Amino acid sequence: MTAVQRFVVDLKNADEDSALHGKLGAELSTLALLGINIPSGFVITTETYIKFLEANNLKQKIRHLMVHFDKNDKKMAEHIKNNILKANIPDDVLTWIFSYYRSLGWKDSEASLFPSPTDPYLRLAVKTNIKGEAILIQCIKEIWASFFEHDLLMHRLHRNLSHFRTGVAIIVQKNLYPQKSGYIQHGDIVLAKGPTLLEREEKELRRIEEMIASEYFFLKKTNWIISKGKIYIVGISPATDTQAKEESAPTRPTGRIVTGVLKVINNKKDMEGIKSDDILVLEALKNYDDIKALRHARALVVSTGINNPHMELVLDKMGFPVVVDRSVKNKLRNGMVVTVDATRGRVYQGEFRLD
């Protein structure tokens, strides 16, 4: 992929690079790579957002303004947003956006714009029922401007995040008008709108859910629609509010992905004979003796958490991959082979593969 082509990417041909496509873009790309139908569209990447800021000298202006930032004054945020709305998108980027928009034959169709930030904490408003190139470009700039709302500026300052290394991609998708819609959660297919599901539709939804479950393991809520007899997955989300908070929380920056054999720890006796390829599952870390006992293992999955911040610091210095997930007791069994991704805070069934 050349530098120019990284500005706008077909959603079904994108990769799982969340730094380029944002969290939502990476998840939708994963679904497409699995062979699951998603609404057609394209990604305006985080590189486009950065190029736009640089081309209009906005990075320098924003840095200058932030030196005098007052958390009680919301005028600065409005000033930054107005600068973004008045700026022009570079011609080469416009060419790519219009090229994709026209190639999809959307001249007389409506589309929706879904912000896809790289920081999962951030929530930006969706733009719906967009029709025409002029409105499309205006809405793109409005989403970029919303990235500098006062509360989002405060959020990044509190977490010591760069306003420029933290980016936002935009997913542009054609509006589909479903005859049926709903979601799958905990294996149950829920019909929220439309007539009763046909047997073949239910069978296909269960097949799709199995494919998604094999990828994410701890799932989640799968949102689906049926339009003109075809099933589309329009998004996946944590199954509960608690899980959503855990998944969006910052994970330990080990960057390590390890595969091993599960060993469920129910008592002190279970801590005997820990092997170097064991991935341990336990309810909680209660004291430093626990760390000594498990230090030879490959990784750790905790169901209730680590309440002592210093213990977490010790594990971090050890370079020990740790994931916290409240559902592990019901999902994991002794002897299962799993992969722990301590950066994303996820556990996958089976061995992780890069291909």
The per-residue pLDDT for 181 is 92
- Shortest CA distance to 72 belongs to which of 146, 144, 153? 153
Q: How far, in Å, CA of 338 to CA of 334, rounded?
A: 11
Convert the pLDDT of each residue in 185-210 to its tens digit. Answer: 877 899 998 999 999 999 999 999 88
- Shortest CA distance to 299 belongs to which of 352, 348, 261, 354? 261
Sheet holding 41-44, edge to edge: 8-10, 41-44, 168-174, 111-117, 127-130
The residue among 115 and 12 whose pLDDT is bigger is 115
The per-residue pLDDT for 242 is 44
Mean pLDDT check: name the lowest of 101-105, 178-182, 226-230, 254-258.
Answer: 254-258
Q: Inform me whether the pLDDT recorded for 42 exceeds 90.
A: yes
Q: Please, which pLDDT band fits residue 307 given cuts at 50, 70 and 90?
A: low
4-174 and 251-349 have identical folds: no
Q: Inform me whether the pLDDT recorded for 23 exceeds 80.
A: yes
**Domain residue ranges of the chain, discontinuous segments joined by +:** 4-174, 180-237, 251-349
Of the candidate CATH numbers 3.50.30.10, 1.20.210.10, 1.20.1050.140, 3.40.1080.10, the domain formed by 251-349 belongs to: 3.50.30.10
Q: Please, which pLDDT band fits residue 220 given cuts at 50, 70 and 90?
A: low
Strand ranges, E, within 111-220: 111-117, 127-130, 168-174, 180-185, 188-193
Share of residues in the chain with pLDDT > 90 (%)? 28
Q: How far, in Å, CA of 167 to CA of 66, rounded?
A: 17
**Locus of tokens 């089976």:** 350
Of the candidate CATH numbers 3.20.80.10, 3.30.1490.20, 1.10.10.10, 3.30.360.10, the domain formed by 4-174 belongs to: 3.30.1490.20
Q: Inform me whether the pLDDT recorded for 317 exceeds 90.
A: no
Tell me if 21 sits within 8 A of 29, measured CB to CB: yes
DSSP letter (8 states) at residue 252: P
Give the three-state DSSP class for 69.
coil
The per-residue pLDDT for 243 is 43
Q: Are strands 221-227 and 168-174 parallel, antiparallel or unpaired?
A: unpaired
The per-residue pLDDT for 136 is 94
Tell me if 93 sits within 8 A of 170, measured CB to CB: no
Cβ neighbours around 5 below 10 Å, total: 11
